[in-house]
Amino acid sequence: LYDINKEIIERGLSIINKNLNRQLNKGSITREQMLKTLENISSSTAIDIMHDSDIIIEAATENLDIKSSIFNQLDQISQEKCILASNTSSISISKIAKSTNRPDKVIGMHFMNPVPIMKLVEVIKTKDTSENTIQTIMDTAKKIKKFPVQCLDSPGFISNRILMPMINEAIYSLMEEVATKESIDEIMKLGMSHPMGPLALADLIGLDVCLSILNVLKEGFDDSKYDPCPLLIKMCKEGKLGRKTKEGFYKY
């Protein structure tokens, strides 16, 4: 586990510990499995800790420049056979791959939120991604008890190309006072069998992430139907980003 400072790493390890304890309390894992998992995680603020890795999964913030910089560094420090995967939720894998000298070994490995619960891994291949890379990532996802599903590299891929316009419409409905936030979420939960309403889901994802994805869709397709709702933009400017700031559409 690599990150830019010890505080962020400690926060990450704390979240992992909390998630494992939740699984332990539910009886889905044993204490021995939990301790073994934690023992298997090493951490560092030096990126070359990953020099002998076979697969590296990047999960930095949704910013192409940041991701490209990381992939450029990883390309230089990792062994030639190493696969570089991105957990990006919308940014072009092809664009990220351009910062490396191994486009055949660059792939999207998009985990769904919350990762400990959600089974899907969206596997995004480019025209350059090799069959060996795809198969390795498919096998790896299955090995960690996830369900990998492939798609081609396109703005928002499949999951967010469909999900984000729905969330955006829910925010428009709230802004236009068609219904309360509770009613909007309840209608989608009861009427569409969604486990969580779109506004509560936006809070979980992070409103800034939702805004970033919508902007990627708008730019990628050059289509006004992806214009972010003004209320979403306003809340992001106010720092009301959802669960991570203790306030979004709901207070936490």
- Give the count of beta carbons closer than 10 Å to the beta carbon of residue 103: 20
Average pLDDT, the chain: 96
- Give the count of beta carbons closer than 10 Å to the beta carbon of residue 243: 16
- Give Cα separations from 134 to 130, 141, 161 (angstroms): 6, 11, 22
Catalytic site residues? Answer: 89, 110, 122, 160
Residues in the chain: 252
Closest among 109, 128, 5, 124 to 57, alpha carbons compared: 109
pLDDT score at 131: 98
pLDDT score at 106: 98
Is the predicted pLDDT of residue 117 greater than 90, yes or no?
no
Is the predicted pLDDT of residue 151 greater than 90, yes or no?
yes
Tens digit of each residue's pLDDT (9 = 90 or more) over 225-252: 999 999 999 999 999 999 999 999 999 9
Is the predicted pLDDT of residue 116 greater than 90, yes or no?
no
Tens digit of each residue's pLDDT (9 = 90 or more) over 69-89: 999 999 999 999 999 999 999
Percentage of residues in the chain having pLDDT higher than 90: 97
* pTM for the full predicted model: 0.90
Is the predicted pLDDT of residue 213 greater than 90, yes or no?
yes
Q: How far apart, in whole angstroms, are the C-alpha atoms of residue 24 and residue 87?
A: 26
- Give the count of beta carbons closer than 10 Å to the beta carbon of residue 18: 10
Q: How far apart, in whole angstroms, are the C-alpha atoms of residue 146 and residue 125?
A: 18
Tens digit of each residue's pLDDT (9 = 90 or more) over 184-193: 999 999 999 9
Tens digit of each residue's pLDDT (9 = 90 or more) over 31-82: 999 999 999 999 999 999 999 999 999 999 889 999 999 999 999 999 999 9
Q: How far apart, in whole angstroms, are the C-alpha atoms of residue 79 and residue 59?
A: 20
